[in-house]
Amino acid sequence: MECKVHVAVAVAILIVGAGTASAIETITFPNRIGQVSFPHKKHQDALGQCRGCHEKGPGKIDGFDKVLAHGKGCKGCHEAMKRGPVLCKGCHGGG
């Protein structure tokens, strides 16, 4: 019985740990009006989870493009949280 409890605890720790994968520090998106450097780890640390952006799982954001970034994605989240840049120069060109 005691062995089963230890195994269950070990499995629980592994499952919880899997959800807190280390984040890429910064992601850079090339762009004709100025590259966008996205501080990914800073966002993950501030939000405390991944599902807010990675709704369908880790690693990718379905349909991420200019429309999403300027809509409900980056800019929309910044407006809703009243934090972060919402003007062009705030993201483009290293601003």
Q: Is 50 annotated as a binding residue?
A: yes
Dihedral (CA of 38, 41, 42, 46) sign: positive
92 annotated as belonging to a binding site for a ligand: no
Q: Known binder of ligand: residue 3?
A: no
* 74 marked ligand binding residue: no
38: how many CB neighbours lie within 10 A of its CB?
A: 16
- Confirm or deny that 6 is annotated as ligand binding: no
Q: Residue by residue, what is the 3-state secondary structure of 33-68?
A: CCCEEECHHHHHHHHCCCCCCCCCCCCCCCCCCHHH
Query: Annotated binding site for heme c, which residues?
Result: 40, 43, 50, 53-54, 77-78
Annotated binding-site residues read 40, 43, 50, 53-54, 77-78
